[in-house]
Structure 1
Amino acid sequence: LDNGRLDGGGYGCSPLSSTLVRNRALLVQRGNCVILAKAFNAWVSGATALIVYNNQEAGDVIEAIPVAGQFLPTLFLPRSSGLALKNLVATNATNGRETIITLTPASEPLVFERQPNVLLDLSSRGPTPTRLLLIKPDVVTIGSGSYGPAQDDDPRGENRFPRPDPGSLQPTLYDPSGYVFTSGTSFAAPRVAGAAALLRQLHPDWSPADIKAALMTTAARPTGPNEVGLARIMDRGAGLVDVDAARRVLSLVDPPSHSFGSVVVGTPSTLIREFTIKNRSQSVAVYTLQAALSPPAPSFLKVDVSPMQLTVPAGGTGTFVLKLTIDAGAISSRIDSEGFVLVSDGEQTTPRPLYIPFWIRTAPR
């Protein structure tokens, strides 16, 4: 039975008519609530199985279903297969026929290889919702397929506790072994916190802003097919946390990223942002600086950084300026643009060129 015929969206995020659902396999679309809640609603409505197909954003990606705590047999399909099944059910219903399916457990577990360094669709994107339109996230890191500790004393997991909405189930995060595979920001954020803690242990005199700068400016941006480096700044921030690079950096840039926000332009304009660089090493550092716009770069926007070479004594600070020049006459619609500044001293205090992203939204007056 196609749940889309019952609740419109086909998400299965609320109980349905038991008269229609009882003793049927229910087809639902991924999204709007956790799969465990879909399974619970199908179960209380009398369904015998649940088939979940992927949403439009994730397409034919196969996602692992949390097995522990499921209420009934559950199958996950790529979007193309789900839509094909949905069309078959609709065609049969139009012709007065029922669709009969058989779910047979595989004799061997199916193994799906997952490409590393690919940004998940569930990862939150920027900019911030405030009028400042700040760059977020700052960085990204592993948050999918995380193997970590879980509850081992109750299959209901968090669902053992009373909730304001009994239908809003949470993933159980239960396994008798005490460990599970799972995904989410809740598992990426602790990794970044752990990286920050390691840097603080290495440099107890560094401020939180120093630690943040070290993690952001040394982040990696791999550019293989579909990898993080190909994503936009508002999708991946400075890039993928690289703890080894962060532990070796001794030059810190403040701020480590900058958003010029939303700018409505009626006449030619120039925007300027000053940055500070600290040399935390024991030697003089000579930095080479360059700035560039990321493609597709609009013709009305020019970027410049000065000076192009900067000498900073041991333990000292220096400044450089990022300048954006906007040709207002060439702007016909709202456009988001981005770019970066690279700072290098030949790997003396920078394990790789430090990367400082910037972003701007322009619109005609």
Structure 2
Amino acid sequence: MTRNAFRMAAMATAIAALGLGALSVPAVAGQNSDNTAARPTQDTSVALVVLNGDPLSTYVKTKPAKGKKIDFGNTNVKAYRAQLSALRNDYKAWLRANVPGAKVTGEFDIALNAVAVQLNGASLAQVSGTSMVKSAQYQALYYPSAADPDLALISAPAAWATAGGSATAGDGIRVAIVDSGIDTTHPCFADTGYPAQTQVGDRSFTNNKVIAAKVFSNRTPQRGYTAEAVGEHGTHVAGTVACNYATPAKVGNVTIPYGISGVAPRALLGNYNVFPGDLANARSEDILNALEAAYADGFDVANMSLGGGSHGAQDLLTVAVDNLDQANMVVAVANGNSGPGFSTVESPGMAARALSAGASTVPHFVGVPISAAGGSYGGATGDFGTVTAPLTAPLAVVTGSVNGLSTACSALPAGSLSGQIALITRGSCSFSTKIRNVQGAGAAAVVVSNNVAGTPIAMGTDGTAGQPTIPAYMVALEDGMSLKSAAGAATTISNSAAYFLTSSANADIMAGFSSQGPTDVDVRVKPDVVAPGVNVLSSIPHQFCSAPPCFAFFQGTSMATPHLAGSAAIVRQQHPDWSAANVRSAIVNTADWGVLKAASNGSTIVYDGNTAGAGRENLAAAVNAKVALDPVSVSFGAEPSGSGQTRSATVTLTNLSGAAQTYSLAVSPVSGSGVGFSVSTPSVTLAAGASTTVSVSTNAAQGATAGGKQAVLWISSGGTPVAHAVLYTLVK
């Protein structure tokens, strides 16, 4: 039987090891800003007023013995607490009589004997003008030391806030992870606080958070495979979908300064393991079996961070994905890691009704300071060695043709780098190969410059025997170019690892490896939408670090896909009456257009739909979507150059707003000359829940130049754009 093998898109040992493009993303203004100097430090509308008398924690008769806690049932504690309450009542009576505009909004007696006061125009002197008050001060403002940057990029917290916040985000929605398993021992998937659930499959690998564990491989009977998470990939993907809210995390010995959360932290997960044990590929039947089992088990969303070669418009797995969407299961799929380059989209991401993910950057990493010639740079750590004590040695710049640096993909002269720290560049071969070659030339350590814009990434091994052992770090492209001018200078690599959150300019950069459309045969736009897929921090199984729980930074459209699956869970939770097609459209057609930047320079805005889809997803906009489009993008196919053809297609608009709406429609060209795009009507009026069909057309002039031509259909309500879709034709 011919095998149709699917590889996991962006396994840490493969995708992180590739010398292909890195990613970075342009953020919305203000997001992830590293400028905190202008933040207010006080709220002068409220005060804390401390009253005379010690609180329970320090009063001689109520403070607890060392190592104990206050005994609130103790007679002395009860008596003193009543005394403090009476004192606060006296103060409140005084305040009502003397500063009637001020209002007590909170009372405290454990850590402080105090009240909170809404001043309503009163001064501190006024509210403290009695002998009962010990002191008064404006309330200080505090900020998280860091926020989860990938969630901030897609506005997930704002989406949660529309329906109960993080405590209920994704509650009860079921997401099937068709991957390599989920480690239920990880705190991301602890089921404390979850109600009892019906669990299916192998109960050794389920709980009330991960409610299904099944294995799908027609080689299982011979090899005894189980649903256990042997590989890292599935657990990482699952954490991005639904890691429990604010789970504490470390990478190595570095504490991450915020709690890790999934996009839908209260969602329930299913482990549908198609890469069990040591298997690195799955057959079409295995994946189809997993999808059907997940559907039969009642799952609402499926995540497939996997991909393989395309088999044309009737590729059976893509047909299956399309059918499941029409049967009301949202299926999020990786667009593939075969970029850069057009027509590199993989199956089943090419499915017309898949929610296909392209990848962009997140501006953070774990690394160490590297200093040379008065400059200091962040060097990202990964799967290779690190220094155990500060290392100082001369910097050897290995010159070559990529930004003036060598890729070190071929053997270097023996002894040519003896005792030095080598500077080379990312690209052309695996990290293992280039670091091995540098080590063979005698280097004490290696610094790899990124070859695309954005922050450095955690370099992964290629899985071959005889991995290099010297310390190895990656620096950003900009930093690599600065280091290049420090050739021969004493360079120090620190052993003090830390978490780095870089400038928001390093966010929203397209990943160089992210596969691009159009699809073969029917020339459809892919990916549908882009999500964070570079430097994504998430959970990995306990066996992959020395001190679990384990977390790691991974790269790939595999990492972007679970952002979309988690987003689908949030949209479905808040709109249970929406169809899978409506959910998919809400995520795609409300994406932020014109924010994604080119990997080559990190600044040029990418408007090509076959690179960036409809833009970078915005979950807050998706949960508030006003209209759904089907299809989410329109392709007019390929047409012969010089044919002068006019082609039309239909788009169904559905009013999601809950009230009658009038939508304005307009088309704006984006790229390509000699081809015009239009829409059949300037406006439509729809009752709540109603649908209508409009026609969009393309008209190619005779002699139109060959290549892709693109426009955007904009749908507005009350003068404000509420949705958009890419229109595309290919002149050959």
Normalising by structure 1, we get a TM-score of 0.72
Give the corresponding residue for 2:649: 273
Q: Unpaired segments of 5 or more residues in structure 2? A: 1-395, 462-466
SS at match of 1:353: strand
SS at match of 2:530: coil
Instruction: State the Cα deviation string for residues 285-306 of structure 1 (Å, max 9, x = none).
Output: 3221111101x552x2222111
Instruction: State the Cα deviation string for residues 142-183 of structure 1 (Å, max 9, x = none).
Output: 22332221345445xxxxxxxxxxxxxxxxxx8755223443
Give the corresponding residue for 2:692: 318
Instruction: State the Cα deviation string for residues 84-111 of structure 1 (Å, max 9, x = none).
Output: 877998xxxxxxxxx6854342889695
Q: 1:141 aligns with which of 517, 531, 537?
A: 531
CA distance in 2, matches of 1:281, 1:237: 24
For the 8 Å contact 2:526–2:613, the answer to whether it is kept is yes
Identity %: 24
Query: For residues 144 and 81 of structure 1, do their structure 2 counterparts lie closer, same or farther at Cα, with a shift above 3 Å needed?
Result: closer
2:724 paired with 1:355 = yes
Give the drift of 1:121.
Answer: 3.4
SS at match of 2:710: strand
For the 8 Å contact 1:283–1:313, the answer to whether it is kept is yes
Query: For residues 78 and 227 of structure 1, do their structure 2 counterparts lie closer, same or farther at Cα, with a shift above 3 Å needed?
Result: closer
CA distance in 2, matches of 1:278, 1:77: 48
2:633 paired with 1:257 = yes
Give the drift of 1:352.
Answer: 4.2
For the 8 Å contact 2:423–2:447, the answer to whether it is kept is yes
Give the drift of 1:361.
Answer: 2.2
For the 8 Å contact 2:649–2:697, the answer to whether it is kept is yes
CA distance in 2, matches of 1:67, 1:303: 45
Alignment of 1:171-210 (within 5 A): 178-210=550-582
Give the corresponding residue for 2:456: 63
Matched residue type, 1:63:
P
For the 8 Å contact 2:526–2:611, the answer to whether it is kept is yes
2:627 paired with 1:237 = no
Q: 1:72 aligns with which of 470, 476, 498?
A: 470
2:710 paired with 1:338 = yes
For the 8 Å contact 2:596–2:612, the answer to whether it is kept is no
SS at match of 1:103: strand
Give the corresponding residue for 1:287: 663
- The aligned length equals 323
For the 8 Å contact 1:218–1:352, the answer to whether it is kept is no
Give the corresponding residue for 1:168: none
Give the corresponding residue for 2:449: 53
CA distance in 1, matches of 2:660, 2:450: 55
Query: For residues 288 and 266 of structure 1, do their structure 2 counterparts lie closer, same or farther at Cα, with a shift above 3 Å needed?
Result: same
User: What's the RMSD between the two structures over aligned residues?
Assistant: 3.9
For the 8 Å contact 1:119–1:228, the answer to whether it is kept is no
Give the corresponding residue for 2:681: 307
Query: For residues 47 and 108 of structure 1, do their structure 2 counterparts lie closer, same or farther at Cα, with a shift above 3 Å needed?
Result: closer
CA distance in 1, matches of 2:603, 2:571: 26
Give the corresponding residue for 1:95: none
For the 8 Å contact 1:279–1:313, the answer to whether it is kept is yes
Give the drift of 1:238.
Answer: 0.6
Task: With a CA cutoff of 8 Å and minimum separation of 6, indicate the structure with the bigger relative contact order.
Answer: 2
SS at match of 2:508: coil
For the 8 Å contact 1:147–1:180, the answer to whether it is kept is yes
Matched residue type, 1:198:
I
Give the drift of 1:29.
Answer: 2.1
SS at match of 2:492: coil
Matched residue type, 1:254:
D
Q: Unpaired segments of 5 or more residues in structure 1? A: 90-98, 156-173
Query: For residues 212 and 303 of structure 1, do their structure 2 counterparts lie closer, same or farther at Cα, with a shift above 3 Å needed?
Result: same
SS at match of 2:570: helix
Instruction: State the Cα deviation string for residues 106-127 of structure 1 (Å, max 9, x = none).
Output: 8896954342642233351421
Q: 1:103 aligns with which of 492, 507, 512?
A: 492
SS at match of 1:328: coil
- Which of 119-128 and 235-244 deviates more? 119-128
CA distance in 2, matches of 1:360, 1:53: 38
Query: For residues 15 and 190 of structure 1, do their structure 2 counterparts lie closer, same or farther at Cα, with a shift above 3 Å needed?
Result: farther
Give the drift of 1:62.
Answer: 4.4
Give the corresponding residue for 1:170: none
For the 8 Å contact 1:132–1:261, the answer to whether it is kept is yes
For the 8 Å contact 1:258–1:359, the answer to whether it is kept is yes
CA distance in 1, matches of 2:596, 2:642: 40
For the 8 Å contact 2:411–2:437, the answer to whether it is kept is yes
Give the drift of 1:81.
Answer: 6.8
Instruction: State the Cα deviation string for residues 213-269 of structure 1 (Å, max 9, x = none).
Output: 111111112559867964322221111211122112242111010122332132422
Normalising by structure 2, we get a TM-score of 0.39
Alignment of 1:158-169 (within 5 A): none
Give the drift of 1:16.
Answer: 6.6
